[in-house]
Structure 1
Amino acid sequence: MEKHKDKWNDLFELAMYVTAAVCFVYFWMKGSQAKMLQAILIVAVLLIIRIVVKFTKTTMFAALRFSVLLFIFITMFLANEFGFYSVIPYLDKIEHIFSGLILCFVGLLIYMKASKGEKTAAPNAKVAVWFCLFFSIAMAGVWEIYEFTTDGLFGLHSQFGSLVDTMTDIICGTIGAVVTCIYLAFKAKRRKMPLIDVQS
């Protein structure tokens, strides 16, 4: 089943490469260099992810890979390339909620890989869920630290100089993390076994 899902992810990723190429040609004809650069960045991000996965010898399980690809599609294609920030209300907050989901899966991947080296005990589903939750919330805070730092150093406006924007983003990420962890907890309880098998 995991391999079958990964085939759909392969097709999804291929479609993103094709879409990026079409966007590059289209915006080249329109003379929009910024949009052409965005198309190049999309391809670069997809390739970097592949390189990192191969370098670290990590197998991304299907749900994580799909979440990452969908996040790239929403943030880089819809929001930036096609300008949907002005079309979909609160798209930025939706992205932060979705990032909470992705970071939970990343936390799960880290936990399962770390536990695989342990010889004394099998991975604990309850500990895995709590780790995913805390990891995701912590990373939401780290991202806001990054935005605060770059805004201060380079005069950017990622946080609009507003504590409300910062805290709302962290809250949205936390909501995504909590919902995902509830799903993982129910999944673990139903199966009465480790959440997922992550190959090395």
Structure 2
Amino acid sequence: MQKLMRKDRGNDLFELAMYVLAAVCFVYFLIKGPAPKMWQAVLIAVVLLLIRAVVKLTKTTMFAALRFCVLLFIFITMFMANEFGFYSVIPYLDKIEHLFSGVILCFVGLLIYGKASDIENKSVTPSAKVAIWLSLFFSVAMAGVWEIYEFTTDHWFGLNSQNGSLLDTMTDIICGTIGAVMTSFYLVIQAKRRKMPLLDE
């Protein structure tokens, strides 16, 4: 198995650019306003730092594809959607986010399989089929869990995350599932090429 602990310069530059952009946004909105946009920039930097902290504390190695997806997801949801107000510019941006979350959660499922089977110490012989199925089911399940969370917060706190619509809820779950299925097919192809993250030889 190839070593996962290798420098990921592309993602490093991507993350650095996001810190720089967050700093620029902070200064701009500090001067021009509104204040919530300024604190949104701070939140972005905090989220990036928290991800680094969790990875370090759990001694987990994020393979390149997962790290890129996480960084891109933060850029789309926190910069484009919230900081720059692209919800009103890009149609169905919310659905694109849910589609993309399915991709990320599928990779997270793969990461969980790797940690659970202790692949780096080779205590368990890894199975690409099991890893892919687990990743798929984990991602689909989490899409449902997220909608449960939105339903609960809407009901308890009077929010409107689901637009009071079963159609919105089911469309979000379907988008997340589609993202998970597409990623599973990608992992199948990678497994056949023996280039699957965590399981490559």
Q: TM-score, normalised by structure 2?
A: 0.92
1:111 to 110, 113, 124: 113
Following TM superposition, the consecutive aligned residue runs of length 4 or more in structure 1 with deviations greater than 2 angstroms are: 1-4, 117-121, 195-198
**Match for residue 125 of structure 1 among 117, 125, 128:** 128
Match of 2:97 in 1: 95
Q: Supply the AA of the counterpart residue of 1:95.
A: E
Q: Which runs of 5+ in 1 are unaligned?
A: none
CA distance in 2, matches of 1:68, 1:169: 19
Cα distance in structure 2, aligned partners of 1:172 and 1:153: 25
Q: Secondary structure at the match of 1:157?
A: coil
Cα RMSD for the two superposed structures: 1.7
Quote the offset at 1:120 in angstroms: 6.4
Structure 1 SS opposite 2:169 = helix
Task: Kindly state the Cα deviation for residue 119 of structure 1 after the two structures are TM-superposed.
Answer: 6.2
- The TM-score normalised by the length of structure 1 is 0.93
Q: How many residues align?
A: 195
Query: Percent sequence identity over matched residues?
Result: 74
The secondary structure found in structure 2 opposite 1:161 is coil
Residue 179 in 1 paired to residue 187 in 2? no
- The alignment status of 1:59 with 2:61, answered yes or no, reads yes
User: Take 1:21 and 1:119, find their aligned partners in 2: how far apart are those partners?
Assistant: 43
State the alpha-carbon separation in 1 of the partners of residues 33 and 65 from structure 2.
38
The structural deviation recorded for 1:190 is 2.5
Code of the aligned partner of 1:135 = F
Q: Deviations over 1:12-61 (max 9, x none)?
A: 10100010010011011112111011101101110110111111111111
Structure 2 matches for 1:114-193, cutoff 5 A? 114-116=116-118, 121-191=124-194
1:19 to 21, 28, 37: 21
